[in-house]
């Protein structure tokens, strides 16, 4: 079984400064990263559909993009590789999907999503991204935890319901 700096046994051995040697850099050729890139493509297509008022197509593309968030993480944890590139690309793809969706919803007449909701989602994601950069820049570990995963599920559920 592969180990990673997110394993409880290794957290104490992760250096407090410098790059984490146990996590390879990775490439776009790694399957989890390819799934993440597919999420970015599905996200763009979703936003294109929303721009054209094709809400049903946009909804299904959103569902596809949200499902790939689970798929890439599962693949990386189950079969590897967990990479530095994936640890950057995956949260970025998540943020583009969720923040972009709430901006679109706030701008859509009849969506009942107030602009302040989109601002709140954007602000939260910016704060977390800043904290992640600060912690991991110092060599620490800012891996996803269950509460963050549940937050993503709740945001996807809320966004999908608003699209319907």
Q: In the numeric block, which tokens belong to residue 80?
A: 């590897």
Instruction: List, run by run, the mean pLDDT of 10-residue segments along the chain (164 residues).
Output: 42 44 65 91 97 95 93 83 81 94 93 93 93 86 82 92 90
Q: Which helix (H) or strand (E) holds 57?
A: helix 55-79
- CA dist 46 and 62 (Å) reads 6
Q: What is the pLDDT of residue 51?
A: 94
User: Which residues fall within 8 angstroms of residue 62, CB to CB, at 6 or more apart?
Assistant: 42, 46, 97, 101, 156, 159, 160, 163
9-48: per-residue pLDDT in tens? 333 334 444 554 566 666 667 888 899 999 999 999 999 9
Q: What is the pLDDT of residue 27?
A: 67
Angle in degrees, CA 22, 25, 27, rounded to 5: 140
3-state secondary structure 67-100: HHHHHHHHHHHHHCCCCHHHHHHHHHHHHHHHHH
Closest-CA residue to 11 (of 142, 147, 148): 142
Q: How far is CA 41 from CA 34, 37, 81, 93, 141, in A?
A: 11, 6, 22, 10, 28
């Amino acid at each position: 079984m592969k180990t990673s700096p997110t394993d409880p046994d290794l957290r104490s051995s992760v250096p407090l400064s410098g790059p984490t040697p146990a996590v390879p850099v990775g490439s776009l050729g790694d399957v989890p990263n390819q799934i993440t890139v597919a999420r970015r493509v599905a996200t763009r297509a979703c936003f294109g559909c929303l721009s054209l008022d094709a809400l049903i197509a946009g909804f299904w593309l959103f569902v596809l993009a949200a499902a790939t968030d689970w798929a890439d993480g599962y693949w990386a944890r189950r079969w590897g590789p967990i990479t530095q590139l994936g640890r950057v690309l995956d949260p970025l793809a998540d943020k583009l999907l969720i923040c972009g969706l709430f901006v679109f919803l706030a701008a859509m007449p009849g969506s009942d999503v107030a602009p302040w909701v989109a601002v709140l989602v954007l602000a939260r994601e910016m704060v977390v991204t800043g904290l992640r950069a600060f912690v991991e820049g110092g060599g620490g570990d800012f891996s996803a935890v269950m509460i963050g995963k549940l937050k993503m599920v709740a945001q996807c559920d809320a966004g999908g319901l608003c699209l319907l």
